Amino acid sequence: MAIGERGMMFTLITITIISLFAISYGAYSLVQDNVVINKRITTLNNFITSVERDLPRQIFISGYRAIFLMEKNILDTGQYITDVNASLNELFFNGTLDGTSQDLMDDATFLSIQNFLTDNADKINAQIQLQNPTFSIAQSGPWNLKVTLNMTLIIEDKSNLASWNRSASISSIIPINNFEDPLYSLNTQGKVINKVNQTPYQIFVTGADYTNLTDHFQNSFYKSSTSAPNFLMRLQGNLTSDSNGVESMVYPQELIDRGITVKYKSVIDYIYFSASDPQKYTIPPVANLILDDEDNHLALYNVSGVAVAV
């Protein structure tokens, strides 16, 4: 009996040791599995962060090139853009404008962006989908454009450990500074190119000093104006007013130097390049400067006291 009892005790001890080992091994395996899963999730989270950080840069490039190509098309065809958003989408999704392939968009289309992201996802054994994409452009204040890519972003681990599925709205701001104003390009047959440069002046006349106004006029600088069209409207030849509008003064001598007959009317660009011809006022201290006062221009440019109606 003593030997049997000792054998049973040994068996129980052995079973206990094996059980503890099994439990410990299971716990260790679970911990190791959790470490692997957490590491994988961290990798995918980092990838998502890089995607959301990189997409604004990519759509900035796409939007900027699209505007450049639209302006070139205006010069080439002598026609304004009928629908800026429609042309933007054609360029972004098809790489064409009016059905003509545009080499400049080769690495700036939606497909090229999607391929770039797919290649990066493959490197970490993941897959990415950009579903139901829409692309749009809008005026964002007088001096900026805003391009926005809306889509459903799906990222999945190829080992089925984790996945993300959410709506995403990615935006980027494009300054209009240094883009060409199509009003000048189209109305001078490309002879006068005027880039949108914001005026450095807020006060145009101080006492009898007209230096700022003269410089603003001769350089055809731009100021914000709620009576003028915004930049996107200019691309479409729409000369109505907008809260984000900008206006410049057409410098007649620049036109004369390019062999263009000048008009005897207000030099405010959206009036000068239109059929409108409101009451004219000469400004004697500044040679060749003619303004109107339809939108309070005399006060805005600090010349109410010297303006002469003609």
Express each pLDDT in 2-25 by its tens digit: 555 665 666 665 665 556 555 554
| Dihedral sign from CA coordinates of 191, 195, 196, 199 | negative
Express each pLDDT in 51-94 by its tens digit: 888 999 999 999 999 999 999 999 999 999 999 999 999 999 99
Q: pLDDT: is 270 or 41 the higher one?
A: 270
Count of CA atoms in the C-beta half-sphere (13 A) of 81: 27
Structure tokens at 261: 């007959």
DSSP string across 71-121:
HHHHHHHS---S-HHHHHHHHHHHSEETTEE-GGGTTTSHHHHHHHHHHHH
* Amino acid at position 172, single letter: S
Q: Where are the domains of the chain?
A: 2-175, 182-309
Do residues 103 and 214 lie in contact, with contact meaning Cβ atoms separated by under 8 Å? no
CA distance 271 to 250: 10
Express each pLDDT in 173-213 by its tens digit: 999 998 999 999 999 999 999 999 999 999 999 999 999 99
H or E segment at 231? helix 231-235
Express each pLDDT in 158-173 by its tens digit: 888 778 888 999 999 9
Nearest CA to 167 among 196, 142, 132? Answer: 132
pLDDT at site 161: 78
* Amino acid at position 282, single letter: T
CA distance 169 to 148: 7
Q: Please report which confidence band the pLDDT of residue 237 belongs to, taking 50, 70 and 90 as the band edges.
A: very high
Write the CA distances from 186 to 71, 131, 255, integer angstroms: 10, 39, 13
Q: Please report which confidence band the pLDDT of residue 28 belongs to, taking 50, 70 and 90 as the band edges.
A: very low
